[in-house]
């Protein structure tokens, strides 16, 4: 594909490639396309090792190409609203973050039936060392950092493979410490029968708290001690007065639900606008740079690595 594209005139070539393969192919494909001069959008986790992630980080800086990482849930307008409310100090100092991502689709040995998604996602050669923690736990960790602007610095984990002979974890419980002194709890599972994609987050500050559910993505709940709960609804004019990013990410009038496909489109929109800015010699502004990048990919791999190390070595706390 690279050879074929390079044979074309520059104005006829693709601008970027989307890498949506099993995890073990992310690094070699991203590496080769970056070296050939193409921008890259990559599925998460970015690589299957920290070493690969660091090499890719260096390569992105060396080539100057735009690299996006598909942490889909940061594309939701109400995730952007929650982030901006926190950034403006509406919640006060953040004390506690609780984030979950339960699924139930791997509650049986589905991989033994030949189901393709289950087969590669439970094969450490293709998915990497992390099972549920690398597949969905990484989304929960990324979302906690995206909302709060904080960084996870230490973890204490308990991961389990409940299905006999499954070589990767299918359930994880992780205590989190953040760089501000805030504390957190992360739970992810793929054996929680009846759950679909129940990603949700609760953030507690000194003034207020907020709550957001991926399966009801158009609403953000905000609470304080002295007033009724507020429910912010996507698509209304009052959203734009607080968060330009949330307004930019809203495509339909209020009352018309937007969901996963629009969130993905929002990430691609910012990614594409960043490419356009750079290719035309302009400096992309903060609004269009609002998409996950190679730094998020490195942090994700360090998180997975720390969880595996903590459990394997029976450490009390492991630094990221």
Mean pLDDT of the 113-121 span = 97
Tens of pLDDT, residues 4-58: 999 999 999 999 999 999 999 999 999 999 999 999 999 999 999 999 999 999 9
Q: In percent, how much of the chain has pLDDT > 70?
A: 100
Tens of pLDDT, residues 283-320: 999 999 999 999 999 999 999 999 999 999 999 999 99
Strands 200-205 and 230-233: unpaired
pTM greater than the 0.75 cutoff: yes
- Cα dihedral 301/302/307/309 (nearest 10): 110
Q: Whole-number mean pLDDT of the chain?
A: 97
What band does 73 get if pLDDT is binned at 50, 70 and 90? very high
pLDDT of the residue at 249:
97
Helix 138-148 vs helix 77-87: angle between axes, to the nearest 10 degrees? 50
Domains identified in the chain and CATH numbers: 2-72+264-293 (3.40.50.720), 74-256+299-319 (3.30.360.10)
pLDDT of the residue at 136:
98
Neighbours of 195 (CB within 10 A): 17
What band does 282 get if pLDDT is binned at 50, 70 and 90? very high
Say how far apart CA 194 and CA 213 lie, in whole Å.
16
pLDDT of the residue at 320:
94
What band does 138 get if pLDDT is binned at 50, 70 and 90? very high
Mean pLDDT of the 149-170 span = 98
Mean pLDDT of the 111-115 span = 97
Mean pLDDT of the 208-235 span = 98
Q: How would DSSP label each residue in 227-279?
A: SPPEEEETT-HHHHHH-HHHHHT--S-TTS---HHHHHHHHHHHHHHHHHHHH
Tens of pLDDT, residues 78-96: 999 999 999 999 999 999 9
Mean pLDDT of the 65-86 span = 98
Mean pLDDT of the 180-194 span = 98
Neighbours of 68 (CB within 10 A): 24
pLDDT of the residue at 222:
98
The helix/strand/coil state of 12 is: helix
Mean pLDDT of the 167-193 span = 98
Neighbours of 193 (CB within 10 A): 11
What band does 127 get if pLDDT is binned at 50, 70 and 90? very high
**Tokens representing residue 24 in the block:** 């073990």
């Amino acid at each position: 594909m690279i050879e074929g594209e390079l044979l074309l005139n520059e104005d006829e070539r693709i601008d970027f490639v989307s890498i949506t393969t099993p995890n073990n192919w992310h690094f070699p494909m991203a590496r080769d396309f970056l070296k050939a001069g193409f921008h890259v959008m990559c599925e998460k986790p970015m690589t299957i090792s920290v070493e690969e992630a660091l090499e890719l980080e260096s390569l992105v800086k060396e080539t100057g190409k735009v690299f996006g990482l598909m942490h889909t849930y940061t594309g939701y307008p109400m995730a952007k609203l929650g982030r901006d409310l926190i950034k403006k100090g509406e919640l006060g100092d953040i004390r506690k973050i609780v984030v979950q991502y339960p699924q139930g689709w791997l509650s049986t040995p589905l991989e033994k039936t030949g189901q393709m998604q289950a087969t590669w996602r439970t094969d450490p050669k293709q998915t990497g060392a992390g099972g549920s923690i690398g597949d969905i736990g990484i989304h929960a960790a990324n979302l906690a950092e995206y909302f709060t602007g904080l960084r996870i610095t230490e973890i204490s984990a308990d991961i389990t493979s409940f299905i006999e002979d499954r070589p990767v974890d299918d359930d994880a419980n992780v205590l989190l410490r953040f760089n501000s002194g805030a504390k957190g709890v992360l739970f992810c599972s793929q054996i929680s029968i009846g759950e679909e994609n129940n990603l949700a987050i609760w953030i507690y500050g000194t003034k207020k708290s907020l709550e957001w559910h991926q399966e009801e993505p158009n609403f953000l709940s905000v609470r304080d001690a002295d007033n009724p709960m507020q429910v912010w609804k996507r698509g209304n004019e009052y959203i734009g007065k607080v968060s330009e990013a949330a307004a930019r990410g809203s495509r339909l009038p209020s009352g018309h639900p937007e969901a996963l496909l629009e969130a993905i489109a929002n990430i691609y929109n910012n990614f594409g606008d960043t490419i356009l800015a750079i290719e035309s010699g302009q400096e992309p502004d903060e609004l269009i740079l609002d998409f996950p990048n190679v730094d998020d990919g490195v942090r994700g791999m360090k998180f997975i690595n720390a969880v595996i190390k903590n459990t394997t070595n029976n450490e009390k706390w492991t630094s990221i």
